[in-house]
Structures are given as C-alpha cells and as structure tokens.
Amino acid sequence: MTGRSKEDEVSTVEVPNSVDVDQDRIERRVLRKIDLRLVPLLTICYFLQYLDKASLGFASIMGIIEDNNLQGQEYSWANSIFFFGYLAFTFPTSILIVKFPIGKYVSVTVMVWAIILMLHAATHNFSGLMAVRFFLGVGEATVVPAFALLTGTFYKREEQPLRQCAFFLGDGIAGILGGLIVWGIAHIQGKLETWKYLFLIYGAITAFFGGILFFTLPDGPSKAKFLTEEERAIAVDRVQMNGGKKVINYQRYQVIEALSDPQAWLLVLNTFCVNVATGGLSSFGNILIQGFGFSLFSTLLLQIPAGAAQILFVCIGAYFGTYVKNARLLTMVFFMLVSITGTAMMFAIPARHRVARYAGSCLTSAFSANLPMATSMVTSNIAGFTKKATVMAMIFIAYCVGRIAGPQFFLQSEAPKYPTGLKAILAVFSSAAVIALILRAYLMWENAKRDKDVGATLGASNESSELSEIDENFTDRENRNFRYLL
C-alpha cells in the first residue's frame, strides 16, 4: 500500500485544458468555413480552365479544322502554341499575384481569358487561331501559381494535399459535364457554325463566373469577409508555420544542388513523359474516338463515362497517397500500367471492336491520378526554400515542353488512327513507370544509407512539416535526419 487516498489518485489524472479544447473547436469551425468558400470556387475554376483549354479538342470534330482550312500539322501547332503562352506568362503573373490583391487579380484574369475564348469564334485561318490560342495560354497561366498561393495562405501543409485532389476533380467533372454541354450545343441550328457557338457559350459562362469570383474570392485570410474578426485572426495564426520561422533568402548553392540532384531530374523526366501523353490525348482524344466509328453526338456523350473514370482514378490515388504509408510511387506505377493497357487496347484491337477500343481510351485516363501525387512528391521530398522553388520551376518547364511536344506525334497523314501518336503514348507511359520505379529504388537506398549513418530515430521525419528538426534553410541533402517518402 502506498498510503495515497483515492482523492489523491483522482487529483493526478490529467484533464484536458479547456482553453485548448475551445481553441481546437474554433479552428475546426474556421477550417470548415474556409473549405465551404474556397474549395467550390477553386474547383469550379479548375473545371472551367480545363474545359476552356480542351474546347479546341471538342471543336476539332465540329468543323473548326475544315472552316479554318488547317493543313498538315497546323492543328497540332494550334494545340501546342497554347503552352508557349502559358510558359511565357507564368513568371510575370507570379509577380503580379503578389503585387495586386490576389482575389481581384484572379477574377479579372478569368474574365480576360473568357473574352479571348469567345474570340476563337472570329477566326477563319491558321494565323488567327494561333494568335487566340497563344493569348488564351497567357490568360490561363495565372491559375496554378495563384491557387498554390491561396492554398498556402489558407491551409496548413498537412491539409493541402486533400484539397489539391479536390481541385483536380474539376478536370474529371469537366469531362462529364463538358461532353454533355457540347452535345447540347451541337444541336443548335443557327446562322453560325456550331463550333463557334461552343466558344461563345463557354466564354460567356467563364466570364459570368469571373464576375462571381470578383465578389467572393478572398485576397487572403486577413481580408476574408466571410469570417468574423476573431476567425480571421485565427485563420492567419494557424498557417504561420507555412512561411517558416525565419526570413528565407535566395541561396545559390541550393540551385546548384537542385540541378545536380538525381531525384530532381527523375521527377522532371517523369513530368515530361506524362505530359507528352496528356498533350497528345487531350488534343486528339475526340478525333480518335470518332475514328473508332462513332457519330459526332455519340462521341460527345462518350466523354461522360471517360470523365467518371478519371474521377474514380483520382479518388483511388488520393486514398492510397494519403492513407497508405510509402505507397505513392507504387500507386503511380500501377496507374501507368493501367494507362499502358488502355493505350495498347486502342492501338491493337481490330477496328470492328469499337466498344473495346473505347474502353481502352477510358483506361488511359488513369494516369491523371498521378498529377496530384507527383506534386506531393516534390513538397514532401525536396527541402530547402530555394531548392524547392528551383525544382518546381524545372518541373513546370518539363510540363509545358511535354504538352508542346505531345500533339506533334499525331501526324495528319495518319488520321484517324494515328499509329505514330499511340506508339509515342505507349513509349512515354512505359518510360514514366520505369522512372517511378528507379526513383523509388534511389530514395530507398538514400534512406537506408542515412539510417546506417545517423540511425533511424528520426526516420520519415519529413512527414510533419512543423518539426523543429526540419528547418527550411536546410536542404534534404544537408539534413541527414531527413527521410524520403516513397
């Protein structure tokens, strides 16, 4: 017997601090209000961006190629030129979103690209189409850096991946609703060519949404009118760690480290391969499906199950990437294998089996689930402010170059089967799968070497961005306690 009374024992029981409980409850309420405002707005914006960017693919089977007298590879270049504009304006717009109120800047940009989209209806030759496609790329270049900044100012790092997956669902939703909307537009009997109504209606919808954004998209947590004054203070305070504890300056040595890091180049190569496929399939997907033997209206409606398949793949990827430890790269390889299977079905199945070939086209969309996971590989495994920024820039360039190159493999002389294009897609999907396996093996080797050198006491310490041991002034190579996620 210790002689302690029951009252003494009871008094030693730890009771949660009521202040902490209240603070946690308030934070959850603030997060819920932020989600209800931001997630729908940003998802719809992603939806419209994808829809507007893909509008040329729909118009390709509605007469724009013939009415603009496009010859040879001119249609391919009309798709590629978009990403020249996208690449050219990304750096300037990254500066402008900091100099101006971001909510207002994004909304004005959306309305500008809506006007450019409507101007597609005025084109009647290759040069005119090239001009509007280039400037549409300029207009849409704001979305990615602006949304990355908004996400970083409203959400903690561990909250961001799930929200990013929600934004990517906008692409799948665009596939479902886009096909249905265009199907309806294709039935319009008016004075204009049908494809012109497509651009005018899409542009009008986007312009209307841009006006909504002007009044509803906040410039930051401190100016969010949908929050109370107390909630705004909490919203600002809860993401302070996103910026680090110190003012972080440009570090030249981190640029050199990024350029010499095998991990960075493997991520760049993977991004390039995946976006060669994206560029080709987004530009010629509708033409391929119609080439299987489907009518115009059937081809448009067949975008609905394809979009649903994409949403399913993204949700599966989000689950495994978020809840299954060290499964990201293997999940990416699995989706690549599914896409390889789908592309092979499109290429090899005899023309008389058009439904089976279409099923293959739906399977090719599996690779789209890798996009948010590939982004998370950078945010999780690249440390050091300057190094991370450098790697992100390298990956963005690879993204644009891949999207530029993709349509060029689809030769007009091979329409409507495009065997060279499909062979190229098979090659880049296979390469992306191999690269992901090499990257996983390399990261496993690095982790094992660090465990041997310094021990495993802080293994996988980068899973929490707020651990004091992981300072953003140090790169993943400098910090030997850093462990790579797989």
Q: Which helix (H) or strand (E) holds 393?
A: helix 385-405
Give the separation between CA 331 and CA 319, rounded to whole angstroms: 10
The tokens for 191 are 């004075």
Distance between CA atoms of residues 460 and 452, nearest Å: 14
Angle, alpha carbons 371-374-376 (nearest 5°): 110
- Please tell me the distance from the alpha carbon of residue 303 to that of residue 395, in angstroms, as a whole number: 29
Q: pLDDT digit string (tens) for 410-466?
A: 999 998 899 999 999 999 999 999 999 999 999 999 999 988 887 544 444 554 444
What is the Cα–Cα distance from 270 to 264, expressed in whole angstroms? 10
Let me know: does 218 contact 226? Beta carbons within 8 Å: yes
Domain boundaries, the chain: 28-239, 251-486
Topology at the third CATH level for domain 251-486 = Growth Hormone; Chain: A; (1.20.1250)
Q: What is the pLDDT of residue 204?
A: 97
Query: Are residues 466 and 486 in contact, defined by beta-carbon separation less than 8 angstroms?
Result: no
Cα–Cα distance, 307 to 179 (Å, whole number): 9
> H-type helices in 217-353, by residue range?
229-237, 252-259, 262-291, 296-301, 303-323, 328-348
pLDDT in tens, 137-162: 999 999 888 888 888 788 887 787 77
What percent of the chain stands above pLDDT 90?
56
Residue with tokens 């209800």: 36
DSSP string, 85-117: HHHHHHHHHHHHHHHS-HHHHHHHHHHHHHHHH
Q: Give me the CATH code for the 28-239 domain, please.
A: 1.20.1250.20
Q: Look at 13 and 448; give whichever has higher pLDDT.
A: 448
* This prediction's pTM: 0.85
As given in the structure block, the two tokens for residue 196 are 């012109």
Nearest-angstrom CA–CA distance, 91 and 88: 7
pLDDT in tens, 86-132: 999 988 888 888 889 999 999 999 999 999 999 999 999 999 999 99
Pairwise CA distance, residues 238 & 323, whole Å: 23
Report the C-alpha dihedral over residues 465, 468, 471, 472, rounded to 10 degrees.
30
Rounded CA-CA distance 105/161 in Å is 24
CA dihedral 173, 52, 139, 224 (to 10 degrees): -30
Q: Among 184-188, 308-312, 468-472, which is the least confidently predicted range?
A: 468-472
Q: Which one-letter amino acid corresponds to residue 143? A: V
Q: Please state the φ and ψ torsions of residue 336, each to the nearest 5 degrees.
A: -60, -40
3-state class of 12 per DSSP? coil
- In degrees and rounded to multiples of 5, residue 419 shows phi and psi of -60, -35
Q: Which helix (H) or strand (E) holds 370?
A: helix 370-381
- Residue 424, pLDDT score: 98
- What's the chain's average pLDDT? 87
For residue 274, pLDDT beyond 90: yes
CA separation for the pair 222, 213 (Å, rounded): 18
Q: Is the pLDDT of residue 18 over 60?
A: no
Rounded Cα distance between 326 and 481, Å, is: 17
Confidence band, pLDDT 50/70/90 cuts, at residue 248:
low
Q: What is the pLDDT of residue 21?
A: 65
Q: Give the pLDDT score at 247.
A: 42
